[in-house]
Amino acid sequence: MFLISIVVRIAIRFAMAGVALTSMNAFAQTQGLLCSTRSELIASLNLVAHEHAVGLIGDHLIVSHSNLDRVKIFNISDPSSPELVHTLERHFAPQQIRVMNSTVLFMNTHGGDGLVMYDFSDPRQPVPLSSVSADTHDIEMNGEIAYLTQGNAGLTIYDFSDLSNPVFLGNYFRNTPGSVGSVERVGDYLYMTDGILGMKLLDISDPVKPVVVEEFSTDSQASSVHRFGDVLYLITLDQLIIYSIADPRHPVPIAINPLPWPRGGLLRLGDRIYLACGQSGVWVFDVSEPVNPTFVRTYAPEVRSTYIAANDELLVVVDPYPGVTIYDLQAPLDTGLLSRASEGASTRTVAVDSGIAAVLEIGTGLRLYDTTDPSNPALLSTLSVPSLGSAMQIANEVLYIAADTQGLQVIDIKDPASPIHLGQVDTNGSAKDVVVDNAFVYLADGGMGIKVVDALQINSSGVVGSIDTPGVASGIDLVDDTLYVADGNGGIHIVNVSDRSSPVVVASNETLDFAYDIEVVDGVAWVAAGEEGLVAFDVSDPANLTKVAEYDPYIDMGYIKVRVVGQTAYVADAFWGLHVIDLQDNELLTRVASFRVDGGADDIDVIQNEVYIASRDSGLHIVDLTDCPPEPCLADVNGDGQLSPTDFTAWLFAFRTLDPAADQNSDGQLTSTDFTSWVSNYNAGCEF
């Protein structure tokens, strides 16, 4: 309590005014392979600036800030507590940092000095060496000859034999229709990216007169190239292309991997490469067999990783807004995967209730598993039923299957060891989703709209009501007597079903390209909208359907199913697997976790802390989400993973700079009550 007696008057003096928060951008910590574990996350630096690039030299971290025009240097010999040791007074904000022995090269692509060189023999007192004008994207050395890529200004060659006095030797490819951005040397050859023109191979047997000997077109803009031994990695806007360069004059493509939108660099440590993929975090591949790169995991899925740096022990990730995060690469990996079932089978949909998981497999039919121990699911029975289902629901020990062109299939699973097929209802459409409510079953019937079925008449006369929709009814959710419809290319609709025989559309919004699934919680409809991501509409007033939030992955992902539990959305991605999105702040939806599934996810179900994922390519996956994301420790304002008096200093600074971390009572305001709330949070303690 000594904190109160020492600082209460100071705190109140700064807090009395009360300031409204304009954004909620506090760093989100997460756990498991799905998330960034607390054991992995060593430290985070929210430097109240727009961090842009990082570099590592020995036990020092270099960080550039574009909006402060500064470069800061931290001692990270104790990475859990970075110590600021120097700030370069020069006004510049490099977008790339390259370390060559004891020399650090700062590259700038936005005017001013394009290349600035410092001697970092003593990182606490760097010594400026020289600078080169014109924007600089990348640099490659050939002995004492330096090749600088300068966008539309082409490739510029300098003599760097005296770093304090670079000598201009020539310029090539000026005014290229592309943009010279990245370069790698292999013997007498230079690989150079040229934007929309792909990649060029240059002969530099005469170092100051490069000659183009071959060009490689790419489907999208070539952004960077990286060489490790006899392997070359070419990054485009959406692909990682791997070449064998055993013969550097004749590179041979050996693998192509689709990628989310890459935003920064690639680096290799041992048999793994680390790739900064923007809002998808840092992707890690095992490339011990270059012809068959294997996805391993992601780091920092909750941030927009723009640039990275690493050594054998640490990974440093830059997000322009939360700041810089440092991860322990030696921490043990917890995959989060509890178990798998139906491995190798094509599972289309899954439903879980009371310890029973129903899985529909193409070619096999229905499988029922005992999942009371989700780490060891036990097969109870199988049943031959039409297996092209898209969704299922269990209600009162009965399984209802939206079975595509086979309509509604109904299975009695009271005895899961001996299920009984009760019957089916032909809906004349393509049943995509099913919701059960007491005596009625509602179906999204594809191009035939919505069907209402009497649950007591599972036969040809079971359909008691219907309404066509303009699109392809793909997902539905029911709240009281209102049905919410994700109508494919027809947008979303609100349907009054109080009269089951005559449903009525009362409102529509057709702004989405394609709505796959919908779930409504507390007056908000969350829509899985394919490549448009996750979109939310306020449906409390049907006369005024308003989009209130969206999570746009900025890349071509296939968000096809959504489940909402509390303030968290679980999304099935047809191309990736599972994504977990924090919904607490509509203005800043945050993806806090991801789980990669071979072949993507077709359906999901969420039971307490477990997520069940059905994949048409790799069967059923059961994932443990315990403490992912964990409850935030609000009192740990400096994010060092412990509570100490320094957290008060951090709170005070956060308050004065309008940092949302100072909002300790989460009311969206900064007032004197936040100090007393911080004290309460501090005294309550946290689990680290």
pLDDT tens by residue, 90-122: 766 788 899 999 999 998 876 667 899 999 999
Contacts 24+ apart (CB under 8 A), 533-537: 533/557, 533/559, 534/559, 534/562, 534/569, 534/571, 534/581, 534/589, 536/583, 536/586, 537/492, 537/509
pLDDT at 237: 86
The pLDDT tens digits of the residues spanning 240-294 come to 899 999 999 999 999 888 776 666 678 999 999 998 877 677 888 888 988 888 8
| Unique residue bearing structure tokens 């009814």 | 473
Does the CA dihedral 268-272-274-275 come out positive or negative?
positive
Q: Any idea which of 47-51, 154-158, 387-391, 419-423 has the lowest mean pLDDT?
A: 47-51
Measured CA to CA, the distance from residue 388 to residue 401 in angstroms comes to: 10
pLDDT at 503: 96
Whether residue 596 has pLDDT greater than 80: no
Does the CA dihedral 481-486-490-491 come out positive or negative?
positive
pLDDT at 549: 92
- Choose between 392 and 223: higher pLDDT: 392
Average of per-residue pLDDT across 670-676:
84
Task: Specify which of 89-98, 171-180, 192-201 reaches the highest per-range mean pLDDT.
Answer: 192-201
Measured CA to CA, the distance from residue 488 to residue 70 in angstroms comes to: 49
Whether residue 657 has pLDDT greater than 70: yes
Measured CA to CA, the distance from residue 559 to residue 211 in angstroms comes to: 46
Q: Which has the closest alpha carbon to 491: 426, 537, 453, 454?
A: 537
pLDDT at 31: 28
Cross-strand bridge partners of residue 45: 324
Measured CA to CA, the distance from residue 211 to residue 172 in angstroms comes to: 10
pLDDT at 501: 94
**Portion of the chain with pLDDT greater than 70, in percent:** 86
Question: Under 8 Å CB-to-CB from 156, ≥6 apart: which residues?
Answer: 134, 147, 148, 150, 168, 170, 171, 172
Which DSSP state fits 306?
Answer: -
pLDDT at 91: 66
Task: Specify which of 34-48, 118-132, 172-186, 305-319 reaches the highest per-range mean pLDDT.
Answer: 118-132
Does the CA dihedral 455-457-460-464 come out positive or negative?
negative
Whether residue 24 has pLDDT greater than 50: no
Measured CA to CA, the distance from residue 525 to residue 547 in angstroms comes to: 9
Measured CA to CA, the distance from residue 36 to residue 54 in angstroms comes to: 20
Helix (H) or strand (E) holding 4: helix 2-15
Q: Which has the closest alpha carbon to 12: 4, 2, 20, 21?
A: 4
pLDDT at 16: 30
Neighbours of 87 (CB within 10 A): 12
Helix (H) or strand (E) holding 14: helix 2-15
Whether residue 528 has pLDDT greater than 90: yes
pLDDT at 418: 97
Average of per-residue pLDDT across 439-468:
92
Q: How confident is the model at residue 51 (pLDDT cuts 50, 70, 90)?
A: low
Q: Are 116 and 164 in contact (CB under 8 A)?
A: no
pLDDT at 50: 60
Phi/psi zone of residue 48: left (φ > 0), alpha (ψ -120 to 50 degrees), beta?
left
Whether residue 142 has pLDDT greater than 50: yes
Rounded to the nearest angstrom, the gap between the alpha carbon of residue 103 and the centroid of all alpha carbons in its chain is: 34
pLDDT at 11: 36
Q: Which has the closest alpha carbon to 615: 577, 563, 569, 579?
A: 577
- Choose between 60 and 662: higher pLDDT: 60
What angle do the packed helices 646-656 and 673-684 form, to 10 degrees? Answer: 150
Q: How confident is the model at residue 307 (pLDDT cuts 50, 70, 90)?
A: confident
pLDDT at 279: 66
Q: Are 183 and 138 in contact (CB under 8 A)?
A: yes
| Unique residue bearing structure tokens 């994932």 | 623
Q: Residue 228 phi/psi, 5° resolution?
A: -135, 105
Q: How confident is the model at residue 572 (pLDDT cuts 50, 70, 90)?
A: very high
pLDDT at 334: 61
pLDDT at 317: 87
pLDDT at 349: 94
Question: Under 8 Å CB-to-CB from 289, ≥6 apart: which residues?
Answer: none
pLDDT at 261: 62
- Choose between 387 and 521: higher pLDDT: 521
Helix (H) or strand (E) holding 516: none
Whether residue 455 has pLDDT greater than 70: yes
Measured CA to CA, the distance from residue 270 to residue 381 in angstroms comes to: 46
3-state secondary structure (DSSP) of residue 201: strand
The pLDDT tens digits of the residues spanning 29-50 come to 222 344 544 457 777 676 545 6
- What end-to-end distance do the CA atoms of the chain give, in Å? 21
Task: Specify which of 251-265, 313-327, 403-417 reaches the highest per-range mean pLDDT.
Answer: 403-417
Q: How confident is the model at residue 433 (pLDDT cuts 50, 70, 90)?
A: very high
209, HSE (Cβ side, Cα atoms, 13 Å): 2
Q: How confident is the model at residue 597 (pLDDT cuts 50, 70, 90)?
A: confident
DSSP-assigned letters across all residues of 113-172:
EEEEEEE-SSTTS-EEEEEEES---EEEEETTEEEEE-BTT-EEEEE-SSTTS-EEEEEE
Mean pLDDT of the chain: 84
Cα–Cα–Cα angle for 358, 571, 335, rounded to 5 degrees = 80
Q: Are 210 and 191 in contact (CB under 8 A)?
A: no
Helix (H) or strand (E) holding 649: helix 646-656
Residue type, 653: F
3-state secondary structure 312-366: CCEEEEEECCCEEEEEECCCCCCCCEEEEECCCCCEEEEEEECCEEEEEECCCEE
Q: What is the pTM of this model?
A: 0.66
Q: How confident is the model at residue 191 (pLDDT cuts 50, 70, 90)?
A: very high
pLDDT at 389: 86
